[in-house]
């Protein structure tokens, strides 16, 4: 039973994988744009878990992974802020935040 | 000590997955936002468990507080009469994507477990390996102003561009309304 008692790098990686898959599925199936943006945040944080895990376990002297995860956190906030502005603009015309109705630039 | 660490890890993992499902499956948007708040708090706790204290504080401050307040204002300002109809899109793509993601998950899990069973290095399996690292915030801060100074500056420019761009979108919209 040591695989469950001894928490190591692989446990974090599997958790990150699960969260990434859940977030990706949420982006595909959710119709509300706010939920889609939260799911994008979940995916980005799942990737950040990978970076931190590798940084801490494999590269513990330099911790490059932690620095990369900082940049991920910053870009996550930037993406959400920009997405919110675009959402407000689109809502003005469409009166809805349904992803199936916002199809104006679809090819 | 090892068991306590395992209990904490599994509790945080459970709350993370529960929060993620709450975001997707809850019918009311406010419940989804509450799930997201819990989720981002748990992300911070997980980073703290990994000794990434600076990342933990940043995640809690940006995602769990700043972003959640923004989303809450968006949800309040947009009166969603059809909140329950904007739930999930039951299309064939939903099931196809679910199957594809399960296969993707299984493939990566198989690769990870294959690697795990070979047991390359004991460092990767020991939680005590984390205790050797101390003061990660100092190391990360030092890296940011030495090795990653250029990337840090570029990030600052990108954020400035985003703020200006967001403002411009608002100004264009107001001009079109005035016409």
CB-facing half-sphere around the CA of A104: CA atoms within 13 A: 6
Say yes or no: A15 contacts chain B, CB-CB below 8 A: yes
B21–A14 C-beta distance less than 8 A: no
CB-CB neighbors (< 8 A) of A42 in chain B: 20, 23, 39
Task: Report CA-CA distances (Å) from B176 to A93, A94, B63, B170, B179.
Answer: 12, 15, 33, 10, 5
State in Å, rounded, how far the first CA of chain A is from the last one.
53
Q: Nearest Cβ partner of B67 from A11, A71, A77?
A: A77
Q: How far is B74 from chain A (nearest CA, A)?
A: 8
pTM equals 0.87
CB-CB: which of B6, B40, B105 is closest to A7? B6
pLDDT of the residue at B173: 67
CB-defined contacts A:B, below 8 A:
217
The answer to whether A73 contacts B58, with C-beta atoms less than 8 Å apart, is yes
CB within 8 Å: B55 and A35: no
**Residue B94's closest chain A neighbor by CA?**
A29
Contacts of B84 in chain A (CB under 8 A): none
Please, which residues 70-99 of chain A have a Cβ atom closer than 8 Å to chain B? Answer: 70-71, 73-78, 80-82, 84-89, 91-92, 96-99
Minimum Cα–Cα distance from A67: chain B residue:
B140
- End-to-end, the C-alpha distance of chain B in Å comes to 68
Q: Among residues A54, A83, A20, A34, which one has the least CA distance to residue B124?
A: A54
Of A70, A65, A68, nearest to A52 by C-alpha is A65
The tokens for A48 are: 């950040």
> According to the model, what pLDDT value does residue B75 have?
83
Q: Is A30 on the interface with B (CB under 8 A)?
A: yes
Q: In this predicted model, what pLDDT tens digit does every residue of A46-102 receive, in sequence order?
A: 999 999 998 888 877 778 889 999 999 888 888 888 888 888 888 877 777 777 777
Q: Which residues in chain B have Cβ-Cβ distances shorter than 8 Å to A96?
A: 82, 86
Q: What are the per-10-residue average pLDDT scores of chain B (179 residues)?
A: 81 94 88 92 92 90 89 79 66 82 89 72 55 75 89 91 84 69
Which residue is closest to A88 within chain B, CA to CA? B74
Judging contacts by C-beta atoms under 8 Å, the chain A residues touching residue B36 are 38, 41
Confidence of residue A15 (pLDDT cuts 50, 70, 90): very high
Min distance B173 CA to chain A CA atoms (Å): 7
Helix (H, G, I), strand (E, B) or coil at A30: strand
C-alpha angle A88/A90/A96, rounded to 5°? 90
Provide φ and ψ at A68, rounded to 5°: -60, -40
């Amino acid at each position: 039973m040591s695989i469950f008692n001894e928490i190591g790098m692989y446990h974090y990686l599997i958790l990150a994988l699960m969260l990434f898959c859940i977030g990706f599925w949420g982006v595909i199936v959710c119709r509300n744009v706010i939920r889609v943006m939260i799911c994008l945040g979940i995916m980005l944080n799942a990737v950040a878990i990978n970076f931190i895990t590798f940084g801490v376990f494999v590269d513990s002297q330099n911790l490059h992974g932690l620095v990369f995860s900082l940049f991920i956190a910053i870009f996550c906030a930037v993406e959400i802020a920009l997405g919110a502005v675009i959402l407000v603009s689109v809502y003005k015309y469409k009166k809805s935040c349904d992803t199936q109705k916002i199809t104006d630039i679809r090819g | 000590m090892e068991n306590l660490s395992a209990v904490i890890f599994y509790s945080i993992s459970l709350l993370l997955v529960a929060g993620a499902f709450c975001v997707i499956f809850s019918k009311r948007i406010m419940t989804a936002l509450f799930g997201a708040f819990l989720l981002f708090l748990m992300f911070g706790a997980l980073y703290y468990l990994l000794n990434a204290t600076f990342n933990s504080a940043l995640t809690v401050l940006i995602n769990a507080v700043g972003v959640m307040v923004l989303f809450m204002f968006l949800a309040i300002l947009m009166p969603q009469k059809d909140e329950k109809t904007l739930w999930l899109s039951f299309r064939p793509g939903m099931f196809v994507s679910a199957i594809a993601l399960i296969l993707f998950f299984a493939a990566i899990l198989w690769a990870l477990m294959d690697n795990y069973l070979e047991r390359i290095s004991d460092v990767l399996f020991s939680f005590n390996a984390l205790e050797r690292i101390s003061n990660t915030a100092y190391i990360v801060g030092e890296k940011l102003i030495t090795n990653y100074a250029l990337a840090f500056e570029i990030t600052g420019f990108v954020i400035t561009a985003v703020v200006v761009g967001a403002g411009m979108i608002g100004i264009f919209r107001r001009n079109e309304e005035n016409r």
